[in-house]
Amino acid sequence: MILSIESSCDDSSIAVTEIESRKVLFHKKISQELEHSQYGGVVPELASRLHLEALPKILEEAKEFFPNIKAVAVTNAPGLSVTLNEGVMMAKCLSISLNVPIIGVNHLIGHIYSLFIEKESVDNLMILLVSGGHTKILKMGADYREIEEVASTTDDSFGESFDKVAKMLGLGYPGGPVIEELAKRGDVSKIEFPIPLRHSKEIKFSYSGLKNAVRVAIAKECYKKEDIAASFQKSAIEHIVMKLKKLFKIDTPKHFAVVGGASANLLLREELAKLSKDFNFNLLYPELHYCSDNAAMIGRVAIEMYKNGDFTTFDKLKVFSRVQF
C-alpha cells in the first residue's frame, strides 16, 4: 500500500491505496474553505497552521495501515511553499519511522491521474487543466513521464477569476461553486462581457481583462449579482471553447480530458461535451468528488512512480512553488 499526502493549498488530505488493485482503502480530506472565506482567498500562513492541526488528526485514523505501507507519497510541487512543507515534513517523518521510500508527486500530474482513480490509465491524452492556480492545455504520451505543455494563461487562472469575481460581489471563497449556482438564476442578456483574446490566433488564456470588465460593471451599481455571475461565467467558458476550437482544427485529440477543481463546473462540461461531438473525441472527466485537491489522486500517480522505482530520499526531497513541463 501507498500512503499519500496532499497539502499544496487549503485542503489537508491523506489516502491509502493498494498498489496492485489500485483500490482506495482510506481517503480523508479536511478543507479550510470556511476559515479563508472571510478573506476572499487563501491566506498561506493561516493555511499552513491549519494543515499542522488537520494532517496529524487524519493520520491518526490511518494508523492501522502502517504495517502494510511500502512507500509514502507527497505533493511537493507546485503550490504554496509554506503549505507544501507541512505535507513534506510529515512524509519525511513517516519515511524515517516506517523505513519506506518517499515519492514526490507533481500536483498537476495528480489532477491528471484523478481521472484514473481505481481505474486503468489512458495514454495519448490531451488535457485541459482548470484549477485555482492553473489554466493549461497539456498533452500526455505513454504516462506521467511524457507530459508537455501546449498552452497556459498569461495572468489569472480560470478558477482564480471565479474567486476574484466572487470576492468583488461579496460572496466569499471559493468562488467557483457559488458563482455557478448564482448564475443559474441570472439573465445573460442583461450584460455582455468581452470574450478574452477572441481575435487573437494564439492558443493562450487570459482572465485579467474579463475580471476588470466585471469590476467596472459592479461599480456601476445597476446590475443584479446573478446577471453579472451568469454573463461572467458565459464569457469565461466561451474563452476556453474558442481557443479549443482553434486548437482542435490543427490537432484533434482521440482522448480529451478536463481536470482540476474547476472541472466540476457543469456548464463547462456541457460545452466540452458539444465539442466532443463536433470533433469526434472521447471526453473524460474525474468523478465530481475527485475534481478538487485530494490525496487519492496523488496516491494514483504514486502507484505508477512506485512501479518505475521513481523514489526520492528524504534528505533530497524539496518543495517548489512552480513547475515547468
The minimum distance between CB 260 and Zn ion, in angstroms, equals 6
> Taking contact as CB under 6 A, which single stretch among the options 13-21, 158-166, 192-200, 307-315 is the one that binds ligand KG4?
158-166
Q: Are strands 255-259 and 282-284 parallel, antiparallel or unpaired?
A: parallel
| Structure-block grid coordinates of residue 168 | 468583488
Tell me how far, at minimum, the Cβ of 75 lies from ligand KG4, in Å. 10
Q: Does 83 sit near Zn ion (CB under 5 A)? A: no
Q: Which of 40, 87, 110, 159 binds ligand KG4 (CB under 6 A)?
A: 159
Would you say 11 or 304 has its CB closer to ligand KG4? 11
Nearest to 144 by CA among 297, 39, 316: 297
Site string for ligand KG4, 121-150 (x = CB under 6 A): ----------xxx-----------------
Residue 116 or 306: the one with the smaller Cβ distance to ligand KG4 is 116
> Closest distance between ligand KG4 and the C-beta of residue 316, in Å?
25
| 3-state class (DSSP) for residue 11 | strand
Binding mask 279-298 for Zn ion (x = CB under 5 A): --------------x-----
Burial environment of residue 203 by CB neighbours within 10 A (0 to 12, 13 to 18, 19 or more): middle
**Cis peptide bond N-terminal to 78, omega within 30:** yes
Backbone angles phi, psi at 164, to 5 degrees: -70, -40
Which residue stretch of 185-193, 223-231, 255-263, 315-323 sits at the interface with ligand KG4 (rule: CB under 6 A)?
Answer: 255-263
**How long is the chain?**
325
* Number of chain residues interacting with ligand KG4 (CB under 6 A): 20
**DSSP state letters, 49-81:** HHHHHHHHHHHHHTGGGGGG--EEEEEEESS-H
Which among 17-25, 154-162, 203-211, 311-319 is the span making contact with ligand KG4, rule CB under 6 A?
154-162
Nearer to Zn ion, 131 or 265 (CB): 131
β-strands 147-152, 135-140 pairing = antiparallel
Q: Are 158 and 205 in contact (CB under 8 A)?
A: yes
Q: Which residues bind ligand KG4 (CB under 6 A)?
A: 9, 131-133, 159-160, 162-163, 174-177, 180, 260-262, 264-265, 292-293
